[in-house]
Amino acid sequence: MSSTLTRSGLTEALYKSIGLSRNESSELIELVLEELLLSFERNENVKLTSFGTFKLRKKNERIGRNPKTGIESKISSRNVVSFKPAQVVKDKFKKNYND
63-97: pLDDT as tens digits: 999 999 999 999 999 999 999 999 999 998 888 77
Kindly report the average pLDDT of the chain as a whole number: 91
Percent of the chain past pLDDT 70, that is, above it, reads: 96
Positive/negative CA dihedral, 49, 51, 53, 54: negative
Entry pTM: 0.73
Phi, psi of 33 (to 5 degrees): -65, -40
Provide CB contacts within 8 A for 1, sequence distance 6+: none
